[in-house]
Amino acid sequence: MADILPSQTLYINNLNEKIKKAPLKKAIYSAFSQFGRILEIVTLRGDKLRGQAWISFDTVEAATTAMAKFQGHPFFDKPLRIQYAKQKSDIIAKRDGSYKPREKSAVSEDTTAPASKPAAVAMDTSSTQEMNMTPSSILFAQNLPTDCTDAALALLFQVHAGFKEVRMVPGKVGIAFIEFDDEHKATTALQSLNGFKLTPTDTMALSYAKR
């Protein structure tokens, strides 16, 4: 059997089938877009084929980094199984001129192309305000989407060493606390994710929690 060559598209399986498609794809986008610009996310609608997704990145390097970081990582309580896709995705083929229409399959696809609004990983700190920069093992997150959950936010921070938990604030929309083992690990996460675009219109602002 021939080896699967590195590509811009990742094939993911063992996704939690109990999670509905809309929040699942949003969580995939939020978690994986920190590694590079995502061109497309494809999921299957058929009941017997749930738990799978294809993610196309702008570069092979971004896809490789994402796979290395998330291989076996708990994602909605199930470890991810990730490999390079066996076939080039349509969006990549169209871009490099090798696209050929495929025969229509009985299995319909659900496609999300967040790249229609680029800068998926652009860091924008212009909206940060009232930021406490005295080091702490707990980070304070602002400007979160109104429908953001602790589980979705945890997926983003779990890739950083020392992550302990996310605590949403009851009755307060758009803010949360993220705890790490120590100040150094919290600082690493802050430097990596401050100004991260969770959605095209929501840019997360991170600072240290006040003691």
pLDDT digits (tens, 9 = 90+) for 11-32: 999 998 888 888 888 889 888 9
Instruction: Determine if the pTM surpasses 0.85.
Output: no
- Amino acid identity, residue 211? R
Q: What is the mean pLDDT of residues 159-164?
A: 90
User: What pLDDT does residue 87 have?
Assistant: 87
pLDDT in tens, 107-161: 445 555 554 333 333 334 344 445 677 899 999 999 998 888 888 888 889 888 8
Asked if 39 and 91 count as a contact pair (C-beta separation under 8 A), the reply is yes
Cβ distance 208 to 133 under 8 Å?
yes
Confidence label for 206 from pLDDT (cuts 50, 70 and 90)? very high
- Report the pLDDT averaged over residues 159-177: 92
Mean pLDDT, the chain, integer: 82
DSSP summary character for residue 8 = S
pLDDT over threshold 70, residue 44: yes
- List, for residues 97-119, the tens digit of each pLDDT value: 888 876 655 444 555 555 433 33
Predicted local distance difference test score (pLDDT) of residue 49: 67
Question: Are the CB atoms for 205 and 123 separated by under 8 Å?
Answer: no
Phi, psi for 152 (deg, rounded to 5) = -65, -40
Positive or negative, the CA dihedral 129, 130, 133, 137 is negative
Query: What phi and psi values does residue 55 have, to the nearest 5 degrees?
Result: -120, 120
Structure tokens that stand for 200 in this block = 């095209």
How far is C-alpha 13 from the chain's CA centre?
15
